[in-house]
Chains A and B, each alone.
Chain A
């Protein structure tokens, strides 16, 4: 019952996000485009929450809809951009763009459908590894059965709080009693141990971005 509502909600939010994406492209007023983009990011964050990626959902809302969008609105207001005149729209260019976008979406759909196991709900990476001989066939399914997880082959494997607690270092008794799925803690565990160096380098990249933005935005004095 819960997973049925969850999948219905995914389709609702995905359709709303696609509609808002159309709105970004279609509206002539750039402020309307920005508002539609905010809604698109909000619905994308809802899709992330539905997938169980709670930290990334919040980051999407805070950084994309809350910082990047506001930057765009700052610049639109500061430069006082008016709406585009409709005489500028050229129909042949719009047709070419729709054809190119349609071809690309068709490619992605074809690849997504033909990934082994993707439409049934098995993980393509595991199916590929099994077919190449790196994994013994059926070993993952057996492991899932012995650990009491959802049967392998259901769409999008279930998240188990017990496995998460064990990954964070709890013992068997407290792991079995865990109820909430600690998405942020697990992400932090991976980010600050395995990806610690890229994380520090990312901070340098942000510093370079800040300095660059200030340097590019200066008014050059004509001495």
Chain B
């Protein structure tokens, strides 16, 4: 099987692509999608460590439980974030991130 480092590098690459997406994209919904990809990437590294620590024949399930909690919290966060985006759309009639400029000079 593949060593642990390769799983961590895969998780890091996915996280950094999501980070680049959050910085580059102007559409708030796509920014939010890239944010969810970052959370998913962190989950991969958790599960990889859980499996790597299982030298007795079974993985150590604490990290997988944490990954499950992260998935559930991500779902709740998406619900609230999308409700916020809908409220923003009703106020500004646009989903560009540059339309939120009332605090700008």
By a beta-carbon cutoff of 8 Å, the part of chain A in contact with chain B is 3, 6-7, 10-11, 14, 17-18, 21-22, 24-25, 30, 33-34, 37, 40-41, 44, 47-48, 51-53, 55-56, 59-60, 63-64, 67-68, 71-72, 74-76, 78-79, 81, 84, 88-89, 93-94, 96-98, 100-102, 104-105, 107-109, 111-113, 115, 118-121, 123-126, 140, 143-144, 147, 149, 152, 154-160, 162-164, 167, 186-187, 189-191, 194-195, 198, 202, 205-206, 208-210, 212-217, 219
Which residue from B30, B56, B89 sits with its C-beta under 8 Å from A147?
A: B56
Is the C-beta of B80 less than 8 angstroms from some C-beta in chain A? Answer: yes
Let me know if A56 and B68 touch, CB within 8 A.
Answer: yes
Set of chain A residues within 8 Å of B33, measured between Cβ atoms: 24, 30, 33-34, 37, 72
Set of chain A residues within 8 Å of B43, measured between Cβ atoms: 44, 56, 60
Let me know if B3 and A118 touch, CB within 8 A.
Answer: yes
Known A-B contacts A71-B79, A126-B55; the reply to A30 vs B84 at CB < 8 A is no
Let me know if B34 and A155 touch, CB within 8 A.
Answer: no
Known A-B contacts A118-B8, A217-B87; the reply to A105 vs B13 at CB < 8 A is yes
- Please, how many angstroms separate the alpha-carbon atoms of A68 and B15 in the complex? 18
In the complex, what residue of chain B is closest to A157 when comparing beta carbons? B55
In the complex, what residue of chain B is closest to A52 when comparing beta carbons? B51
In the complex, what residue of chain B is closest to A158 when comparing beta carbons? B57
Q: Report the interface size class on chain B.
A: 35 or more
In the complex, what residue of chain A is closest to B95 when comparing beta carbons? A81
Closest Cβ of chain B to A147, distance in Å, is 7
- Please, how many angstroms separate the alpha-carbon atoms of A124 and B47 in the complex? 14
By a beta-carbon cutoff of 8 Å, the part of chain B in contact with chain A is 1-21, 23-27, 29-30, 32-34, 36-37, 40, 43-44, 47-59, 61-62, 64-65, 67-69, 71-80, 82-87, 89-90, 95
Set of chain A residues within 8 Å of B53, measured between Cβ atoms: 123, 125-126
Let me know if A56 and B64 touch, CB within 8 A.
Answer: yes
Set of chain A residues within 8 Å of B69, measured between Cβ atoms: 198, 202
Closest Cβ of chain A to B42, distance in Å, is 11
Set of chain B residues within 8 Å of A34, measured between Cβ atoms: 33
In the complex, what residue of chain A is closest to B67 when comparing beta carbons? A56
Set of chain A residues within 8 Å of B11, measured between Cβ atoms: 108
Which residue from A167, A190, A219 sits with its C-beta under 8 Å from B65?
A: A190
